[in-house]
Structure 1
Amino acid sequence: MKILYDNQIFTQQNYGGVSRYFCELMDQYSQDPDIEQTLALRYSRNENLCSRYALYQHWSSRSEFLCNTHIFPVIRKITRVDVLNYLRINQRESVRMLKKQDFDLFHPTYYDPYFLQHLQQKPFILTVYDMIHELYPGYFSPNDPTKTWKKKLIEQAEAIIAISESTKSDIIKYTNAEPDRISVVYLGNPFEYLVQSHRVKNNFEHPALEEPYILFVGNRNGYKNFIFFIKSVARLLKKDENLRVYCAGGGPFMRPELEILNELNILSKVRFINTNDLIMKHLYENAQAFIFPSLYEGFGLPILEAFSCGCPALLSNSSSLSEVGADAACYFDPNDPESLLQSIETVLSDDHYRETLIRKGFERLKLFSWENTAQGTKKVYDNLLNQ
């Protein structure tokens, strides 16, 4: 079985859940003699991909010059090469590999339908990560083509993978996709590979942390509900002079966020940390709790990250989060500040409840592995090719 993956997410995303998903699939299939895989790509700065040297062999035409971490940043600065240039370089490579037709099945990594005219008679399978653009269009630019692209691909894909039952239900609700064309395949633990000692840098330096703290992870825009979260916990931060909030990833605070933190008089107690997997793991391991106030998630990988690090997870009672967390997490209403505050105070004050959540988190984690993800995905591949 020959699988072709394209460049999209590895051009667009330097770090994130979707690129990790495809890296983990490729990692698993590297050990599967039944699968021959190719990643149509020349250049990427994606941390998930570039840190996995074993996957370099699967790149269709890796440019040592463009990928050089010392030379190319200088060239980029001088010539003002930007993401659009990378996209052109990589998309040309994806089109080149599509035209070769040396594959049995195409699996695009995101929703740009550029490839449809080049597929000829080859089938493609689409992974749908969420339906956030359909549910909350107000959080996105009216010029954002994602919703239109996604609808077009859902209509034409021979098979669809949804990463949760919640996402499958939303696909059915917002499109004309037949339920029997959609397979649910859960994701795995993002930190699973860190247990392999050769992956961990021995000289890693942990960031200095002021404890105790609660943890917010990822992007803070729109439906991620950060402003609700920070306004809700402001009272708690003032009440407990030692408690702090760390925000991991998502970029440095923007001016409107800094203004809100200043108005709430908590600017000194909320800190942004630029992160990678090792830093993230360290943050989870030392946090009093991980708070996930998002209004919507297609799956929620940070839940599994928290479980794997023994960090109590406090989750919004929306979308897929309870499907992933089950009884191993504490839930709150993402529109009710009192609900969130009560959940945090319960976890911080009740050691028995806290330990119960940690124990159940480890048990729940056993249901999610990248091996299971790869096997479930391969089953969809097989079913499609054997029709």
Structure 2
Amino acid sequence: MAKNIIVSQIGARHRYTIPKTFYENNILKALFTDSYRYTFLGKLSYLFIRLGIKKTIFKRLCLRLPQIPQSYIKASDKPTLKLLLKKNVNTELLNEILYFTLDHFFCKHKKIINEADCIYNMYYENLGFIKYAKKQGKTVVVDIYENPISFNFLLNEVNKYPEYSCIRGIKKQYEDRIAIREKYVSQMLQTADYYTVPSKYVLKAMMAYPEFNPKKAFLLPYPTSIQETNYNYRPIKHKIIWVGNDPVRKGLIYCAKAATILKQKYTDLDFRIIGSIDNKYKDIAVFKDLNFIGTLTSSELKEEYRTAEAYVFPTLSEGFAGTVIEAASCGCPIITTECAGTDLEAFPAIYIPIQNVNAIVDSVTSILENSKYRDQLSLKTFQYSQALTPETYEKRLISIFKSI
């Protein structure tokens, strides 16, 4: 059993749920991380906000607040400072700076490392540090939170659809992301003693790597960030939603083409696109039948889920799609692909093939034409979501580390 765990993560992944859970169970040795609310940049950001300078980066740093005593946290602003001082950083260099700058800083904390027995690391981040820890005899567990070849799929999409070229540099971004994964994922797998994966979809994808040993893998689905305990589904006729910030990965172009077909029959169809989507998409003909809403507050998003006849999410690749579980928590019927990362046998969604406009049209039509079927799906998804609580995730997380 792991009793003194160092959590190594960049950013506020899962709102620092992992170190918080370990702390509450008396097995956290330390959190090694980058900028957060009480580093120099975090304090400076808080001051700027108090002075009325409310830039996004300041807000984000102030929201990075691990719910553990500061004495457990070893953090540095170095990656953030490097990024702020550099201009024209490509995606590959950005990843190098963000995820590998702190290797030396983490390794300096030799006393903490010596007293630890396990490192829980996020993906290929801080690879130099986990290699060092492994040499010191520590058990290394990594969380593989995505399908590493996702960006190969996305690059193919960009090459296939010229509509995506409206986003400057998107092809180069994907090429850089592919390159960094090709450089580091195999090394990560060779270093790790165990892995956690959020879905069977990721587990299946990892089998393409000869270094991956499925016997070392633990299935650990992520919890929902929206937890509704009261069923309050109130669908508005012909209202369909899509939620996300990545149009390519999450198949927006297929929704757009489906919306155009569906509007021929349902002229009042409101296919709402929720999330931070570049305004350039609105001016492209293929997206003309979509209603771009923009970003919403948590309460506004819940209301969208509760009042949509369906959430259409034809994703090409995920680790474990949080928005699908959010929708389920609000009782919204879901149309998605196996790539969402949900359990195909247990999760009550309508599953469709990827890149298939007709399948979207047929699935949406089946819901719009049959309110009884829609309501049955709604109740089933809501009931299923009740098992994907933060408490369930935390219990599973602790049980995994008890078995190591």
Q: TM-score, normalized by length of structure 2?
A: 0.72
Distance change in 2, residues 1:52/1:77 (3 Å)? closer
Question: For residues 355 and 277 of structure 2, what CA distance do their matches in structure 1 show?
Answer: 25
Q: Which residue of 2 aligns with 1:355?
A: 375
- CA distance in 1: counterparts of 2:21 and 2:62, whole angstroms: 14
Asked if 1:115 corresponds to 2:129, the answer is yes
1:218-268 deviation line (CA, Å, top 9, x unaligned): 23343422112211212224543432233223x33253x3343x35543xx
One-letter amino acid of the counterpart of residue 118, structure 1 = Y
Which letter does structure 2 place at the counterpart of 1:121?
G
1:161 paired with 2:196, answer yes
Q: Which residue of 2 aligns with 1:38?
A: 30
Q: 2:282 maps to which residue? A: 258
Equivalent residue, structure 2, for 1:144: 179
1:116 deviates by 3.5
Residue 80 of structure 1: CA displacement?
Answer: 8.1
Seen in structure 2, the aligned counterparts of structure 1 residues 125 and 322 have a Cα distance that, compared at 3 Å, is closer
Superposition RMSD on alpha carbons, in Å?
3.6
Select 1:6's aligned residue among 5, 8, 15.
Answer: 8
SS at match of 1:189: coil
Which secondary structure does the structure 1 equivalent of 2:139 belong to?
Answer: coil
Structure 2 distance, partners of 1:169, 1:179, is: 9
Cα pair distance change 1:324/1:49, threshold 3 Å: farther
- Determine if contact 2:11/2:34 at 8 Å carries over to the other structure: no
1:81–1:131: structure 2 CA closer, same or farther, 3 Å change rule? Answer: closer
Match of 1:54 among 67, 70, 73: 67
Indicate conservation of the 8 Å contact 1:25/1:373, yes or no: no
Q: Distance in 2 between matches of 1:303 and 1:49?
A: 27
State the match for 1:271 in structure 2.
292
CA distance in 1, matches of 2:20, 2:288: 46
The corresponding residue for 2:50 is: none
| Aligned equivalents of 2:131, 2:175: Cα separation in 1 | 27
Give the counterpart of 1:226 among 243, 252, 269. Answer: 252
Distance in 2, Cα, partners of 1:271 & 1:127: 34
Q: Aligned in 2, Cα 1:132/1:332: closer, same or farther, shift over 3 Å? A: same
Distance 2:248 2:147 in 1: 15
CA distance in 1 between counterparts of 2:294 and 2:104 reads: 36
1:373 lines up with 2:393 in the alignment: yes
Shift of residue 368 of structure 1? Answer: 2.1
What secondary structure, in the 3-state scheme, does the structure 2 residue paired with 1:347 have?
A: helix
Cα deviation per residue 1:327-350 (whole Å; 9 max; x = unaligned)? 522222333222111111221232
Structure 2 unaligned segments of length 5 or more: list them: 37-56, 156-173, 230-235
1:1-387 correspondence runs (5 A):
1-10=3-12, 19-20=13-14, 23-32=16-25, 34-44=26-36, 50=63, 54-55=67-68, 57=70, 60-61=73-74, 93-97=105-109, 100-101=112-113, 102-112=115-125, 113-119=127-133, 120-133=136-149, 136=152, 139=155, 140-141=174-175, 144-192=179-227, 213-237=239-263, 239-249=265-275, 251-253=276-278, 255=280, 257-260=281-284, 262-263=285-286, 265-266=288-289, 269-316=290-337, 318-319=338-339, 321=341, 323=343, 326=346, 328-384=348-404
Q: Distance in 1 between matches of 2:401 and 2:216?
A: 12
Question: Match of 1:5, SS?
Answer: strand
Unaligned stretches of 5+ in structure 1?
A: 11-18, 67-71, 196-209
Q: Given that residues 121 and 130 in structure 2 are in contact (C-alpha distance below 8 angstroms), is that contact kept between their aligned partners in structure 1?
A: no
Given that 1:7 and 1:94 are in contact with CA atoms closer than 8 Å, whether structure 2 keeps it comes out as no
Amino acid at match of 2:302: K
Query: By how many angstroms is 1:128 displaced?
Result: 1.2
Q: Distance between the aligned counterparts of 2:62 and 2:117, measured in 1?
A: 23
Structure 2: which amino acid aligns with 1:229? C
- AA aligned to 1:171 is M
Give percent identity, aligned residues only: 17
**TM-score, normalised via structure 1 length:** 0.75
Cα deviation for residue 62 of structure 1 reads 6.0
- C-alpha change, 1:172 and 1:232, in structure 2 (3 Å) is same
Match of 1:114, SS state, is helix
Kept in 2, the 8 Å contact 1:98–1:118? The answer is no
- Separation of aligned partners in 2, 1:52 and 1:282: 27
* TM-superposed deviation, 1:315: 1.3
